Amino acid sequence: MTFLEMLCDVGRRNRSLLCIGLDPDPARIPAGARAAPDPIYTFCAAVIDATADLVCAFKPNSAFFEALGTTGMETLRRVIAAVPRDIPVILDAKRGDIGSTAAAYAHAAFEVLGAHAITLNPYLGGDALAPFLRYADKGCLLVCKTSNPGGAELQDLRLADGHPLYLEVARRAQTVWNERGNVGLIFGATHADVLPAVRAVCPDLPLLVPGVGAQGGDLTMAVLGAVDRRGERAIINASRSVLYAAEGTDFADAARREALRLREEINAALKPGA
């Protein structure tokens, strides 16, 4: 089963477009997990177990695991393995390099760590994406427009035809780079007002939308702008607001309550007249 098939299948089963980002900051690990031999794994695994029936995907952020030193990548592998096999895992790594380096990154993400999809930086061009795109059953989610203010310095640059650079990335994602049907885009929820323009260029691509929750993106606008004509193929990501919903021993229950609230708010946005 391909990444996109998994995403749609679990989304329908769980009635969910919610993706939970796993960004484990050691300084914020709740008291209920700190005493464990591997507190990062214990924390992430508990959140996964508590919310697996409420999501369409999980998105571990590689940076937080790499920062743990020599044990970090093994912890990341174990966290990915803790996700139920029928739920897709998006490795948030935003890789972008060329040749054998890109091939090594792809091998690590898909074959060593076992991720079903990865986030990528497309600004090095198609040859840097090619080693990842060769994995036809894996998802390749390309940075299109990001939530950080500095992203506009390059992403909003106007091309000769008057369109911003991020729309050209969207066009190439839909056409030039999507020969195997495994490409998607990343578009920050803080720019939800222009999401419909991207969806118009890419009617069938999955869109990963971070920036709701702690980053303040408008959830309803993000959902309505990101979904396809069937109300699917949007991956609405929340990280800190779910992970750190509580600081005590009830952190997993609190994460579940917040995930349930977000899932229901997303679904409410999809109802006519919402």
Per cent of the chain over pLDDT 90 is 89
pLDDT confidence band for 124 (50 / 70 / 90): very high
Residues 55-62 have a mean pLDDT of 98
Least confident of 16-25, 26-35, 179-188: 26-35
Residues 92-121 have a mean pLDDT of 97
Pick the CATH number of 3-270 from 3.40.710.10, 3.40.50.1000, 3.40.50.970, 3.20.20.70: 3.20.20.70
232-263 confidence digits (pLDDT tens): 999 999 999 999 999 999 999 999 999 999 99
Q: By C-alpha distance, which of 163, 129, 127 is closest to 143?
A: 129
pLDDT confidence band for 214 (50 / 70 / 90): low
* pLDDT for the residue 217: 73
Question: 94, 138, 145, 271: which one is catalytic?
Answer: 94
Residues 198-221 have a mean pLDDT of 88
Rounded Cα–Cα distance for residues 3 and 183 (Å): 10
* pLDDT for the residue 213: 61
* pLDDT for the residue 273: 54
pLDDT at 218 over 90: no
**pTM here?**
0.96
Q: By C-alpha distance, which of 153, 216, 160 is closest to 188?
A: 216
* pLDDT for the residue 94: 97
pLDDT confidence band for 107 (50 / 70 / 90): very high
The upper half-sphere exposure of residue 252, i.e. CA atoms within 13 Å in the direction of its Cβ, equals 14
DSSP category for residue 230: T
The per-residue b/e assignment along 148-182, b for 16 or more CB within 10 angstroms, e otherwise, is eeebeeebeeeeeeeebbbbebbebbbeebbeeeb
Instruction: Please report, for the chain, the start and end positions of each structural domain, with discontinuous segments joined by +.
Output: 3-270
Tokens of 72: 């970090």
151-172 confidence digits (pLDDT tens): 889 998 999 999 999 999 999 9
pLDDT at 274 over 80: no
Rounded Cα–Cα distance for residues 101 and 8 (Å): 31
Q: Is 145 a catalytic residue?
A: no
- Who contacts 70 (Cβ-Cβ below 8 Å, separation ≥6)? none
Residues 206-232 have a mean pLDDT of 88
pLDDT at 68 over 80: yes
